[in-house]
Structure 1
């Protein structure tokens, strides 16, 4: 089991009430549920930040496609799909 530590946070009363109800309904502790929620949030946000950083690196290295070119290709794909289904 991984090591744990304590973190104190302030929540709106409405969120605490929902957490209380969820703990009752799932037979889990509020601490367990809160830790799970924070872990999932942090993992998702870290993935988003990593993607943004990769995108910025791609821009700096010139690994991009101009917006106008992408839009022209998208329009061609849409028109081809329309012709196919006409």
Structure 2
């Protein structure tokens, strides 16, 4: 069994009731479902923060593309796609 620790959180009565229903319907404990949901949330938020940090590091190192260059390339791609569509490809 994995090591674990206890943490107390406050929930609205409505959320606690929903969690209870989900636990019953899935034959899992409320604790299991809450820990699983929290892990998913924390992992997602950490990925977002790490992505922002990478972006800031890229900016600091000068690894950026000017906005006008990006927009010009995007417009070029859109124009090419429209031409292919008009040609029936």
TM range (shorter): over 0.9
Shift of 1:2: 2.5
Gaps of 5+ in 1: none
Using structure 2 for the length normalisation, give the TM-score: 0.92
Gaps of 5+ in 2: none
Q: Tell me which residue corresponds to 2:83.
A: 83
Moved over 6 A (4+): none
CA distance in 2, matches of 1:23, 1:79: 52
2:53 is the counterpart of 1:48: no
Alignment length (residue pairs)? 86
2:35 is the counterpart of 1:61: no
Shift of 1:13: 1.7
Note the aligned Cα RMSD (angstroms).
0.8
Deviations along 1:12-52, one digit per CA (max 9) or x if unpaired, are: 22211110000000011000100111111111111111111
Q: Tell me which residue corresponds to 1:7.
A: 7
CA distance in 2, matches of 1:6, 1:77: 53
